[in-house]
Amino acid sequence: MDGDGVVEVLVADYSGGGRVHVLESVGVDTWELVYSTPALDSTATTNNIRAIAGGDMDGDGMGEIYFLAGRNYDENNPNIDKLPPGLYIFEAQGNDDFGSEPTTIWEFDGDLPDRWRTEQMIAMDIDGDGGDELLISNNGGDNRYDNWYVIGATDINDTFPTIVQELRLSSRASEDFDPVDRGGGSPYSMVPGDLDGDGNIEILLHSWNAFNLTNVRVTGPNQYVAPDENATNVFLHASAPDDHVAFFGCTGVDINGDGDTEVYCPNLQTGAVTVINYESGENALEITADNVSVGIIPGFSTLGLTAGDLDGDGNIGLIGTARGYSAADFEAGNPAAWIHYVEYIGGDVEDPASYSPVVEIVSPSDNYDAFHQIVAADETITYSDAAVDARNPLDVSLGNSNPEFASKFAFLGDVDGDGENEVAFGIQGVPDSLYVLNAITEDSLTVASVSPNTHRIFMRVLAGSATGVSVEEDRIILPSDYKLHENYPNPFNPTTTIAFTLPIDKRVSVKVYDITGRLVRTLVNGQAYPAGTHEVTWDGTSDAGQTVASGTYLYSLEYGSFRQTRKMVLIK
């Protein structure tokens, strides 16, 4: 995304008003956190950043990060006037740097949705104009904002960028901008692909109304055709009479290599996978029961879904959400089960017999006791994964189970060159803090203690090869793994030694500033060092060669978009 030729993975974070962390592959089974969008606000709410995407909408070779934010920010935030609700875009400014503030914030041409309930965003050049389009499905509070959007842009990094709403469709039949009945319900997915194999891209649209499905066709740059009020078979309620949904969206793949895209959708209510499939010559702007096979893979995934040839055998498989990990699993000694995997083995994609048996992939190394503890009057300890609100921890229903689970997936291919294909996936439901609650009686609780959860998994990597499929123990390098040590001596006159430790080979800078932040001396300027501890010496002179005055100075270790700083004192 930043033009350095290295694959990045984007990870969403609800804290700081909504943040995105960029992880980069830096070696076999090794990732590094190279950038984080700034904390925009003190709030941490699911009203923001429910979905993220990366792409290049303006086609300038510098990628962008996209997310929806700005909802329910603290009214005392000093920057609140500069942080309206909207589409936040951070464009790459250089290697591992997407800027210290949003490049631009788009407010939906003045018709701003009344809330963010977007679980899937996809960036892809669907119309061949050289820039990615951003596909957004949003479940509005008001029916007017139950919409599917296609967004384009030019010159994002300019003072006045151009953001274009290329398409806006309503799921309802009640809106002036789109009065056609498209099946109703709250939009949750948009999947682009050549559904009928005619060389044109269509977009499958999905909403929460008996698993509603409808389509639109891309006909050229910024040009789209959707069924009008005179069309037939505009939508299909695939799960009727049951009201089901693919909550985290669907995925498209040409799984059988026949030249058209099949779309696979998980089911929040049943876990069964549905496939949408068109044969050559069928009209992809119509959808009937002949195009949809419901529940072909039972019990596979209630939430996330992606596709790829994980084990490298030439057969594409589906990767989905398994049962996860709960307090009950911990007490019973069951391993964490993050992933389900199934492979297409040939034949009719609508036939359940065309798929291998479902494999549950467990991760025994993730068996841990990071759950709340309930201490009974007889000092018996049980564990709970119930959701505890820090604002009122005693208002908790201990009987409710909220297991940790694999949520959203990204198939990466062999990203680190080790001969294995990888899938990155996020883990949700992990508590920030762990409580010890004393249960004096069945209905009376007190808080004995609260502590940070030191086993907070946020990402795992699934790897596959001809020898098997497993969850890897990938190493993730964080800024805290870089160490800037105390200079010695300190105070000093006339020289001092500055030591730093690097967890991996890295280009770094070491600089000296005065107490006002003015640069005094560059000791190391983007120089490559191997992993390990290194030392440099400062002789109390500036870059101009002049001896500096006595006083307090700051010295820093700078790498990527991160910096560590310490103080030292020069005494004469």
What is the share, in percent, of the chain residues with pLDDT greater than 70? Answer: 99
Q: What are phi and psi of 329, to 5 degrees?
A: -60, -45
**What are 75's two structure tokens?**
């009214």
Strands (E), 389-518: 405-413, 421-428, 433-441, 444-452, 459-465, 468-472, 475-477, 483-484, 496-502, 506-514
What are the sequence ranges of the domains in the chain? Answer: 1-111, 117-257, 483-570
What is the share, in percent, of the chain residues with pLDDT greater than 90? Answer: 73
Residue 471 has pLDDT above 90, yes or no: no
Residue among 404, 557, 544, 431 at smallest CA distance from 485: 557
d(CA 247, CA 255): 22
Quick one: average pLDDT of 85-112? 94
Residues 149-183 pLDDT 10s: 999 999 998 888 999 999 999 999 889 999 999 99
Q: Residue 225: is it exposed, middle or buried by C-beta count within 10 angstroms (0-12/13-18/19+)?
A: middle
**What are 155's two structure tokens?**
């010159």
Quick one: average pLDDT of 523-527? 96
pLDDT given at position 467 = 67
pLDDT band of 221, cuts 50, 70, 90: very high
Helix (H, G, I), strand (E, B) or coil at 457: coil
d(CA 455, CA 432): 9
Cα torsion through 406, 410, 414, 419, rounded to 10: 20
Residues 529-567 pLDDT 10s: 999 999 999 999 999 999 999 999 999 999 988 999 999
Residue among 416, 380, 384, 388 at smallest CA distance from 403: 384
The CATH architecture one would assign to domain 483-570 is: Sandwich (2.60)
Across all residues in the chain, what is the average pLDDT?
92
pLDDT band of 432, cuts 50, 70, 90: confident
The verdict on whether omega for the bond into residue 85 sits within 30 degrees of 0, i.e. cis, is no
Q: Dmax of the chain from CA atoms?
A: 88
Q: What angle do CA 223, 60, 424 make, to 5 degrees?
A: 90
Residues 395-404 pLDDT 10s: 777 777 788 8
Q: What angle do CA 296, 290, 268 make, to 5 degrees?
A: 40
Quick one: average pLDDT of 252-256? 97
Residue 429 has pLDDT above 70, yes or no: yes
d(CA 503, CA 506): 8
